[in-house]
Amino acid sequence: MVLESSTKRVVIATRESRLALWQAEHVRSLLSVGLPDGAVTLLGMTTQGDQILDRALHEVGGKGLFTKELETALMDGRADLAVHSLKDVPMQLPEGFSLAAILPREDPRDAFVSPVYASFEALPAGARIGTSSLRRASLLRARFPHCEVLPLRGNLDTRLAKLDRGEFDAIVLAAAGLKRLGLADRIRAVIPPVDSLPAPGQGALGIEIRSDREDMAAMLSTLEDRDTRLAVTAERAVSRALGGSCRVPLAAFATREALGGLRLEALVASINGARIARVVLETSEETLAAAEALGEQAALALRDQGAEAILAS
């Protein structure tokens, strides 16, 4: 890989949590192959989403609180690209920005974490389960009404510390983050998608740039994983069509079929888990346009099952 003559150095904007820094360092190592030492550096930043920890994310502005400061650094030239957990990226990027590359997906499933109990089924009545996600909270309330589902904010290490202090009997986290940080041994059980359908983009990393940075787009094209791009395109299309954000208990998960094509499962749930609309659709085509259309079709099918009424509630 050769840097364009106009680009003396590549700067990656990143949040400063341990997981975010791991992700940015992972991208830095991929981009640094064949380049001089120090050609790719990190710009650590604290976002509003990292600062506001006393309220649920859906109450204070949503996913954009994790990306706004990084996008400002891209716009004013302090950084050339930003690395995000794709599930934290708003479904509609601000004008002037694009996702230049989506990397191969890590485990997209949710993980059950507890120092005492081996599974959800082992939890006693009144057990406290912590989660930061409306999606997870809704599905947990539907499956385990005898447990108390409580909000849990903070980065991954903060959440684990709260669990270890006894504030919760169990918590639910993304398996990908635990595995990336070498904490797979904290996972007591990986939750199958049939029981906890993942959030759109969960487990995938997205690289954001200014839309006019053709030099960055060309460089990052080598990191693109087409299978992951197809899957998350369908998933994010569901959420976009339903006005999805962290304010909506919505899940969408797409997989490549063995004989070709995409399979997409999506759902919308009420906050208390009492009402769930769920659909499964497939397409034999393997284009981005087909993936986008599949997601939009899933959103229409969810509406036919009463998704609008569920969301309005």
DSSP secondary structure of 237-302: HHHHHTT-STTS-EEEEEEE-TTSSEEEEEEEE-TTSS-EEEEEEEES--SHHHHHHHHHHHHHHH
Distances, alpha carbon 258 to alpha carbons 89, 262, 263, 284, in Å: 29, 9, 10, 11
Residues 6+ apart with CB under 8 A from 189: 111, 112, 118, 119, 120
**Is residue 225 annotated as a catalytic residue, yes or no?**
no
Residues 6+ apart with CB under 8 A from 136: 110, 172, 196
Count of beta carbons in the 10 Å neighbourhood of residue 281: 18
Give the CA-trace dihedral at 253, 256, 258, 264, to 10 degrees.
40
- Sheet with 250-256, edge to edge strand ranges: 250-256, 262-269, 276-283
297 and 281 Cβ atoms separated by less than 8 Å: yes
Integer distance in angstroms from the first to the last C-alpha of the chain?
Answer: 52
Token pair of 185, please? 């041994």
As a whole number of angstroms, the distance between CA 113 and CA 12 comes to: 32
Strands 250-256 and 10-15 come out as unpaired
As a whole number of angstroms, the distance between CA 92 and CA 304 comes to: 24
Active-site pick, 54, 80, 88, 107: 88
**Which residues have a catalytic role annotated?**
88
